[in-house]
Structure 1
Amino acid sequence: MGFAKELKTGNFSLYGQLVGLLAGVLMIVLGGVTIVSHVVYSILAIVFGVLCLLIELPFFLRLCPTGPSFDKAVRALRNHWLRTLVYVIFAVVMWASLASGLTLLVIAAVAITLAAACYLVAAIRNQAQVTTSLLGGTGAAGHTVYDTRTVQTV
């Protein structure tokens, strides 16, 4: 299934992944741009952006020197409800940055709020967790579970 067809599936888990990736990149970039004027919120945005990328692209865990407990915590976020909760927390902090004045971080706040909303809809609809084939994932067509002994389609 191609990327364009994946977008037409109506799987909000897929939309959440794409918007979450976009939000992560935006938080890193906008956090860097605003670091001089809003140090605390900019650093939080960069940290949240990196966490979003680790959550949405688990293969990054292999590239980063993290501990087993951190890896386990990130893997636990495969649950839509937990991802929604984490993204809502990130969104609340980004929206709180408005207390120090209107900044570019509001764009990151909107993006992470949209990601949380997508995962909330996916959780309510009880949709399967899928990853886009654009980034090497299973895509919305089917889920392939890779085991060291066998490969099976679920």
Structure 2
Amino acid sequence: MTLAEEFKSRNFSIYGQWTGVVCIFLCFALGVANIFNFDLIILFSVICLVCAFLIIFIEIPLLLRICPTSSSFDAFIRRFATNYMRAAIYGIMSVIQWISISVKATSLIAAAVLLLIAAVFYLAAGIKGQAFQGSKTLGGQGVAQMII
């Protein structure tokens, strides 16, 4: 299945996964950009950076096979295999970034918005009863088995 066919499938979990990939880059960039503030925003930027690395392992399952991680970390990441669990983790990460507005309005708002969009996509997939379908481009079904 090509990338265009994946987007035409109208499976919201595919949309959520690709939005999550964009979140990786955005959270990393905004976390680094806002870490140079000398107030409480530093805490939120560090959390944004941690979220970026967490999303990498959630959205790109191939990395769990090729990166040396602990079994407890692998078990934690595997909890997010369903649409509802992914919607929950993205929702939590989004709420944390929305709280950063109470300290100071920064560009972390963009991360909060995009994380919320990813959560909505996964929630829509869960509500519509669509099974989680990982993108083959990102190391979904079939690609991870080819490495072994």
Q: TM-score, normalised by structure 2?
A: 0.88
CA deviation after TM superposition for structure 1 residue 125, in Å = 1.1
Runs (5+) with no aligned partner, structure 1: 147-154
Identity %: 37
In the alignment of these two chains, the number of paired residues is: 143
1:11–1:74 distance in 2 versus 1, CA, 3 Å: same
Match of 1:59 among 46, 58, 62: 62
4+ long deviations beyond 6 Å: none
2:123 is matched with which residue?
Answer: 120
Map of 1:150 onto structure 2: none
Which amino acid in 1 is paired with 2:94? A
**Distance change in 2, residues 1:29/1:121 (3 Å):** same
1:44 corresponds in structure 2 to: 47
Query: Cα distance, 1:98 vs. partner?
Result: 0.7
Q: How well do the aligned residues superpose, as a CA RMSD in angstroms? A: 2.0
Secondary structure class of the residue paired with 1:36: coil
Structure 1: distance between partners of 2:119 and 2:143: 25
Q: CA deviation at 1:63?
A: 4.1
User: Residue 81 of structure 1 aligns to a residue in which SS?
Assistant: helix
Whether contact under 8 Å (2:87, 2:119) holds in the other structure is yes
| 1:7–1:31 distance in 2 versus 1, CA, 3 Å | same
- Aligned counterpart, 1:22: 22
Q: Which residue of 2 is the match for residue 76 of structure 1?
A: 79
CA distance in 1, matches of 2:85, 2:57: 15
Query: What are structure 2's unaligned runs of at least 5 residues?
Result: none
Structure number having the greater helix percentage: 2
Q: Matches of 1:59 and 1:47 in 2, distance apart?
A: 19
